[in-house]
Amino acid sequence: MNLWLTLAVNSIALGGLLFLLSSGFSLIFGLMRIPNLMHGSFFMLGAYLGVTLLARGYNFWVAALASTAALALIGGLIERLLLRRLGGDPLPQVLLTLGGAFIVADLCLMLWTGDPWQPGTPDHLRGVVEVAGLYFPLFRLVIVAVGLIVAIGLWLLVDWTRLGAKIRAGVDDAPIARVVGIKVSQLFTLVFALGAALAGFGGVMGAPYLSVYPGLDFEMLPLALIVVILGGTGSLLGALVGSFLIGFLYNFGQAMFPDLAYVILFLPMLVILVLRPQGLFGKVVS
């Protein structure tokens, strides 16, 4: 009973973090039709920046927002200067993001060395919550709360603003959106920057929980992929549901079927891709 309860609560916590990671990926994939293979790198880079700021004594939220802003800038520049030159052809764009991932990984190694960094949980968020004799770190529940706040914020943006309407139009049918006068290229830059920012924010939130180290990028990237494929590209609801699903699958799978740990994670992805490529909540991609 203890085990299942701990696993369940942890699944929700992991789900919250995964949502921060994959919401950006889902937006980018949905609008620009490219699986951004640098997404894990953005997560890691945001985490490293956040940790550096924390080490200098800045407040946790200040550090998080500063990293988020930095990643938004970096993401925007990458899209504007590099991706846009490739003229919408998805394959070279995917490969460019792959090349970018290698570069970021090496840069991080150069700047932050190979040691792992794990900042302490911020003081005002420290503490444990006791439920039925089990201890659970408060910070992880905070991650869930933050994830939900971000989810609501994104939902408001996408469903209730003009910008969101334009994004949705771009996701549904980019050529027609252009025809009606929506500047899809600018949207691309914006969405890519937003995606990078979300990933970076997720990285900082996750740093006290997962720590930062070389290799974090390629550990988180497949998780983002799985969530988005499962939930459906371009759908925030899909990313939310997918994140929690994967959180549960990961925690219970690791505990119950350790030998098949990776198969359990990737098999649903494969099944969905083959049977229902648009995912649970996505729209059919023409």
Partner 1 sequence: MTIKRRTVLAGMLASGASTVALRMPAVAQAAPFKIGLLTVKTGPLAQGGIQMEQGIAAFLKEKNNTLAGRKVELLVADTGGNPAGAKTKAQEVIERDKVNVILGPLAAFELLAITDYVRENATPLISLAAAEDVTQRKANPFVIRPSATSGQCSHVMGDYAAKELKLNRMATISDDFAFGHEQVSAFQRAFEDAGGKVVKKLWPPLVTPDYTPFIAQIGKVDGVFHGFAGSNPVKFMRSYADLGLKGKVSLLAGWTGMDDALLKSLGDEAVGVVSAAYYSATADTPSNHRFVAAMQKDYGVLPGGYAAGMYVAGQCVEAAIAALDAKADDRNALAEALHRVALTDTPRGAVKFDQYGNVIGEVFIRRCDKKDGQLVNTVIKTYQNVSQFWTYNEREFLGNPVYTRDYPPAKNLEN
Partner 2 sequence: MRASTSQLAAGALTLALLVSLPLWIGNTYYINIASQILIWAILALGLNLLVGYAGLTSLGHAGLFAIGGYVAAMLLAAGYGHLLAVLVALLVTLLASVLFALLALRATGIGFLMITLAMGQILWGIAYRWASLTNGDNGIPVASRPAPFGLSLAPAPAFYYATLVVFLLALASMAVFVRSPFGASLAGTRDQARRMTALGYNVWLIRFLTILFSGFWSGVAGLLFIYYNQFISPQVVALTTSAEALLMVISGGSGTLLGPIVGAGIVVIMKNVVSAYIERWNLVLGVIFILIISFMPEGLVPGSVRIWRLARQALRGKRVADAQGAEQPEASR
Q: Which stretches of the chain bind partner 1, using CB under 8 A?
A: 2-3, 6-7, 10, 14, 105-106, 109-118, 120-121, 128, 134-137, 139-140, 208-211, 213-215, 219-220, 223, 250-252, 254-255, 258, 261-262
Altogether, the residues listed in the chain come to a count of: 286
In terms of CB distance, is 164 or 222 closer to partner 2? 222
Name 5's Cβ contacts closer than 8 Å, sequence gap at least 6: 131, 132, 134
With beta carbons less than 8 A apart as the criterion, state whether 34 and 84 touch: no
Query: Can you tell me the distance from the alpha carbon of 71 to that of 239, in angstroms, rounded to the nearest whole number?
Result: 21
Q: Which long-range contacts (CB under 8 A, 24 or more apart) does 262-270 make?
A: 265/222, 265/223, 265/226, 266/222, 266/226, 268/226, 268/230, 269/225, 269/226, 269/229, 269/230
Residue 254 touches which of partner 1, partner 2, none (CB < 5 to 8 A by kind)?
partner 1
To partner 1, the closest distance from the beta carbon of 117 in angstroms equals 6
In terms of CB distance, is 202 or 282 closer to partner 1? 202
To partner 1, the closest distance from the beta carbon of 264 in angstroms equals 12
With beta carbons less than 8 A apart as the criterion, state whether 233 and 195 touch: no
In terms of CB distance, is 116 or 277 closer to partner 2? 277
With beta carbons less than 8 A apart as the criterion, state whether 199 and 46 touch: yes
In terms of CB distance, is 34 or 53 closer to partner 2? 34
Which residues, listed in sequence order, are joined to residue 128 by a DSSP beta bridge? 137
Residue 115 touches which of partner 2, partner 1, none (CB < 5 to 8 A by kind)?
partner 1
To partner 1, the closest distance from the beta carbon of 108 in angstroms equals 10
Backbone φ and ψ for 17, nearest 5 degrees, come out as -65, -40
Lay out the site mask for partner 2 across 79-108 (x = CB under 8 A, - = otherwise): ---x--xx--xxxx-xxx-xxxxxx-xxx-
Cα angle at 118 between 60 and 206, to 5 degrees? 60
Residues forming the site for partner 2 (CB under 8 A): 33-35, 82, 85-86, 89-92, 94-96, 98-103, 105-107, 110, 218, 222, 225, 229, 258-263, 265-267, 269-270, 273-274, 277, 285
